[in-house]
Amino acid sequence: MTCLSRPLRVGMVGYAFMGAAHSHAWRTAPRFFDLPLRPELSVLAGRNAGAAAQAAERMGWNETATDGREVIARDDIDLIDICTPGDTHAEIAIAALEAGKHVLCEKPLANSVEEAERMVAAAETAAQRGVQAMCGYSYRRTPALTLARELVQEGRIGTIRHVGAQYLQDWLSDELTPLTWRMDKAKAGSGSLGDIGAHIIDAAQWVIGSNIAGVSALMETFVTERPVGGDLSGLGGKGDASGEKGPVTVDDAAAFTARFDDGAIGVFEATRFALGRKNAIRLEINGSSGSLAFDFEDMNVLEYYDGSNSSRTSGFRRIQVGEPDHPYTGNWWPVGHGLGYEHGFTHQVVELVTALGSGTQPSPSFADASRVQRVLAAVEQSATNESRWQRVQR
């Protein structure tokens, strides 16, 4: 492995579900990949001093702070990693960029297009000083999905005609699952649409290399009140049917049709009410000469249909993504041993640190992520306007 001399001192704001995933990635990346900078888990910031201290000890951070602004102001911090609810992303990211800190911000980029645009402007200004910003769409870094993008770019499935994308979960199907910030529009921006729908929007646009131009959508909230309570992760638990309840102000499910800039059409579905589906991210791309299919619940496999094959032997072929020449996998385990959810975050850190080391823009940029934000806004506008066709703002 390359000797890592120059440190990249990281300050992370937030320490729950995403904070744990990001912490693992920062610790792991330099142990398996040659990086131009040496990540250091310097400071973890959280409002609850006791909980932050426990999280820092568990996840390997050197010290803690109770105010993210203090961390941003420090001269011994190079990068701010934002793992907080969406309503805080713009404030933290803009302040960090203006202070000369690189930024990694969890998705979705913001809670509104206006906030996203301000973040993009701050990132573009900071880039002129060599300060970079990246949005954390970690599923891009799943080796099978990265391979799918490479095959599309190589022309292996021809002209893209149709995209089908689903993100199916079931953790809210129990009506007693208590309220968390993920069900509060003021904090989360939207429900299944922004939380998980953003991932399939980004994945589809990234894999086929074309942006969504317009949508026709509908959204639904199946359970309008839930027990008050929950945990810091925002992923719920079991509530008390006899206790206090509060309103759910976001969508439980969203579905929309779409047209891409290149003329392809798409069908998208995001729900947290698909009983039996825990984290099914499904993407199928049909082209003029072949098809690709992916399901995160079998994340080390990419299915490929070659339309040039004889009908006697045609059919989808399972590609077990784990060979040394597949994306990322050569740095991990022997062939066939497989990777997991956490590896996407590690690969995200690898891409970010590599870009910072070379002085180039990491991907997805804030501008890339803002395009997802515009699709989210168009979906909401269409759904509130009787599913009428809504063009995506440019």
Tokens of 15: 């320490």
Q: Which residue has the tokens 């990001």?
A: 22
pTM, two decimal places: 0.95
Domain with CATH 3.40.50.720 in the chain: 7-139
The answer to whether residue 234 scores a pLDDT higher than 70 is no
pLDDT in tens, 152-181: 999 999 999 999 999 999 999 999 999 999
Neighbour tally for 81: CB within 10 Å: 30
Neighbour tally for 64: CB within 10 Å: 20
> If you ran DSSP here, which 8-state letter would residue 228 be given?
B
113-127 helix and 366-383 helix, angle to the nearest 10 degrees: 170
Per-residue pLDDT, averaged over 92-113, amounts to 98
- Among 4-13, 106-115, 121-130, the minimum mean pLDDT is found in 4-13
Domain with CATH 3.30.360.10 in the chain: 142-362+372-383
Q: What's the length of the chain?
A: 394
Picking from 309, 292, 314, 291, the residue whose alpha carbon sits closest to that of residue 301 is 292
Q: How many Å is the maximal CA-CA distance in the chain? A: 66
The answer to whether residue 3 scores a pLDDT higher than 90 is no
In the Cβ-directed half-sphere of 377, how many Cα atoms lie within 13 Å? 20
- CATH number belonging to domain 7-139: 3.40.50.720
Q: Is 11 helix (H, G, I), strand (E, B) or coil?
A: strand
Whole-angstrom distance, CA of residue 176 vs CA of residue 42: 39
Per-residue pLDDT, averaged over 234-238, amounts to 60
108 prior amide bond cis, ω within 30? yes
Q: Where are the alpha helices (DSSP H) in 74-168?
A: 89-98, 113-127, 143-153
The pLDDT assigned to 186 comes to 95
Picking from 255, 139, 260, 117, the residue whose alpha carbon sits closest to that of residue 199 is 139
- Under 8 Å CB-to-CB from 30, ≥6 apart: which residues? 4, 38, 39
Per-residue pLDDT, averaged over 36-61, amounts to 97
The CATH topology of domain 142-362+372-383 is Dihydrodipicolinate Reductase; domain 2 (3.30.360)
Distance of CA 77 to the CA centre of its chain: 24
